[in-house]
Structure 1
Amino acid sequence: MVTLKQQLYAWRTVIFALFLRELQSKFNDKFGLSWAFLEPFVFILALSFFRGLLNEGDIHGISLFHFMMIGLVGLQSYTTGIQSVSMSIRKNKPLYAFRQVQPMSAIVTSGFLEVAIKVVVIALLALALYLVGDGISVDNYLLLIVLFSLLWIQCISVGLMFGIAAAFVPEVDKIKSMMMRPLLFISCIFFSLQDIPEEYWPYLTWNPIVHFVELARYACFPKYGSQGVDLAYTVETTAGCLFLALCLYHITWKKVLAR
């Protein structure tokens, strides 16, 4: 009989090995790990510059750079998490010949790696702002941590569903790419939800990223307000995505191995 402790130890060993493999394959070019941190910096600076051409100064009590940084970090975390997790099942397919390696191990490893990268990126962004004298102060750390955790649980769940679907129908990857492209424009990244007439809010607030981003801005700057968004909606959508993803995985994981 294999005890639970032995199973957990074997699973931990597998995940650690997959983590090292994922880390090496993800940053095997000349830029290495530095690219994971340089890309968000450049992306945020470029889009903040273009956004500044439209409106200079504060946006509902938040500086332009802080406004864009919170929105873009949230969106990038969501999209890169979904992309990485959805590709992990197919990318690690040769390893499933080993009995100890299962698709869930690859999913957990990929999700954990993306979380670790984004945590370091956020820390470096905060340090850079502090060094230039424009440090960001967080009013509600608990709310921000809860939002970040819910965001990652949801993106890993959605990525898992896309990954399973792509194992049976490869064309799902193209549909996923098409769905990701408009998120930059409908997730309140460039504009605040408060800048849009209230009668149009229902066309945007179905998107959970809007709630994550606007509540994150509110957690850092209470004067920004939280009109039109709700923490309960993020919890409900995250729980729903997680439930559906786990059910789908439980039903299909053996068939995924046989694909």
Structure 2
Amino acid sequence: MTAPTTLPANKILIDSATPRRRRFASFRTITALVLREMATSYGRSPGGYLWAVLEPVAGIALLSAVFALLFRAPALGINFPLFYATGMIPFVTFSSVSAKLAQAINFSKPLLAYPSVTFLDAILARFILNMLTEIMVAYLVFTGILLIFETRVLIDLPIIAEALLLAGALALGVGTLNCFLFTRFPIWQQAWSILMRPMFIISCVFMIYNNLPEFLRGWLWYNPLVHIVGLMRRGFYSSYDAPYVSQGYVLGFSAVCLVLGLIFLRRYQYELLHN
């Protein structure tokens, strides 16, 4: 019989430290990609990253003022800008972050040729930067409305944070799946743009889900954004119950899209990078 071989102590220490070293390298890679994203996307424009935050804030504020003149009686509360913002912020968070993630491979394709940079690093870097940007936008918009207008609302910060996190999770899942589809099938980008146009209307940004006809509610319930918008409004309007909101459905929908996107990206990563 042959004696069992014993690994040297230094070999064991090296092997046990390898996963930790890989995690640290991945963290450094994501940080570098975030800084690169900020420099290339915002560093060349006047105002830089500050303009990336102020531009959507100004856009939402302008639309809120316009619609406040047209619709003086909101479906909830006494202030239309706040009612509009509680629907617009989740929608903008999802659409903006998912659109950025969908272009992650196209944006970072030269860097993905290096073994230390993976498509997951590129996706996470874009997600972190753009999600933090949208959180800052939400903070500025809601703070401005609460300071300027009389709203008479009781704010529930945990529910508001939960709505923003669900919007981020949905953006991560859909954006990752679209990252594969946009790169593999360029025609899907045009098709997705067409599909997203009515989403602004059917996501209950201007209306309350409970006030819709029953046959419409049955269809719109499957739109995850309807649940996120309802949850966001529950965080501002204590009298709004929103029993139709299902966090589990949103998380499940997001997880399915994320898993499918990661599987397809891993399966076709060579073809995507050399297309």
Would you say same fold, with TM above 0.5?
Answer: yes
Cα RMSD of the aligned pairs, angstroms, is 2.2
Q: Does 1:21 align with 2:36?
A: yes
Aligned residues of 2:102 and 2:178 also touching (Cα < 8 A): yes
Q: Which residue of 1 aligns with 2:177?
A: 161
* 3-state DSSP of counterpart to 1:223: coil
Aligned residues of 1:126 and 1:136 also touching (Cα < 8 A): no
| TM-superposition CA deviations, 1:34-87 (whole Å, max 9, x none) | 322222223223322343344313422352111111111111111111110011
Structure 2 CA distance for aligned equivalents of residues 43 and 148 of structure 1: 19
Q: Does 1:7 align with 2:9?
A: no
> Post-superposition shift, 1:127?
3.4
In structure 1, stretches of 5+ residues that fail to align are none
Aligned residues of 2:127 and 2:172 also touching (Cα < 8 A): yes
Q: Which residue of 1 aligns with 2:128?
A: 112
Aligned residues of 1:75 and 1:184 also touching (Cα < 8 A): yes
Aligned residues of 2:34 and 2:126 also touching (Cα < 8 A): yes
* 3-state DSSP of counterpart to 2:75: coil
Structure 2 CA distance for aligned equivalents of residues 238 and 60 of structure 1: 28
> Post-superposition shift, 1:109?
0.3
TM-score (normalizing by structure 1) = 0.90
* 3-state DSSP of counterpart to 1:30: coil
> Post-superposition shift, 1:247?
2.6
Structure 2 CA distance for aligned equivalents of residues 159 and 138 of structure 1: 33
* 3-state DSSP of counterpart to 2:93: helix
Q: Which residue of 1 aligns with 2:87?
A: 71
In structure 2, stretches of 5+ residues that fail to align are 1-14
* 3-state DSSP of counterpart to 1:5: helix
CA 1:207–1:44 in structure 2 vs 1: closer, same or farther (change >3 Å)? same
Q: Superposed, which structure 2 residues align to 1:1-259 within 5 Å?
A: 1=15, 3-27=18-42, 28-61=44-77, 63-132=79-148, 134=150, 139-259=155-275
Between 209-218 and 219-228, the greater mean CA deviation after superposition: 219-228
Structure 2 CA distance for aligned equivalents of residues 231 and 17 of structure 1: 33
> Post-superposition shift, 1:142?
2.7
Aligned residues of 1:71 and 1:189 also touching (Cα < 8 A): yes
Matched residues, percent identical? 25
